[in-house]
């Protein structure tokens, strides 16, 4: 049996960042849903995919392992507990997080002074 390991290229990656939302779209159509994982630790999002394909039998078989890992840092204002992911029928994995606490710069604040 011959074995090999490939690092898969995720064909399309689209990152959208607005004042209301952070979103990543990945084309993972070459992977089965059960082969994909999305994890969050602190402000770090890790997306992984791994699969094995075996071809042939006996002395003429081969095993191919394909995998990828993508890491992204959540921007300011994203609550990691609000992160969600969806896989659509076209094989696009969508990972998004609302930006509830997005700051638009310093805000004015009146400070009362004492005499």
> 47: how many CB neighbours lie within 10 A of its CB?
21
Please state, rounded to an integer, the average pLDDT across all residues of the chain: 82
Query: Which pLDDT score, from 0 to 100, does residue 110 have?
Result: 56
Query: Which pLDDT score, from 0 to 100, does residue 95 have?
Result: 96
The DSSP-derived string for 37-105 is EEEEETTEEEEEEEEEEEES-GGG-EEEEEEEEEEEEPPTTB-GGG-EEEE-TTSEEEEEEEBTT---S
Torsion angle defined by CA atoms of residues 13, 15, 16 and 22, in that order, rounded to the nearest 10 degrees:
120
Give the H or E element holding residue 107. Answer: none
Supply 4's token pair: 């090999």
Over residues 60-98, the pLDDT tens digits come to: 888 888 999 999 999 888 889 999 999 999 999 999 999
């Amino acid at each position: 049996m011959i074995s090999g390991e490939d690092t898969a290229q995720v064909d399309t990656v689209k990152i959208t960042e607005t004042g209301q939302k952070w979103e990543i779209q990945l084309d993972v159509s070459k992977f089965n849903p059960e082969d994909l994982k999305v994890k969050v630790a602190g402000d770090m999002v890790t997306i992984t995919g791994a699969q094995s394909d075996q071809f042939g039998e006996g002395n003429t078989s081969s095993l191919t392992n394909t995998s990828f890992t993508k890491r992204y840092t959540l921007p300011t204002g994203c609550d990691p507990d609000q992160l969600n992911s969806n896989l659509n029928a076209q094989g696009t994995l969508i990972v998004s997080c609302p930006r509830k606490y997005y700051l638009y710069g310093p805000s004015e604040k009146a400070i009362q002074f004492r005499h």
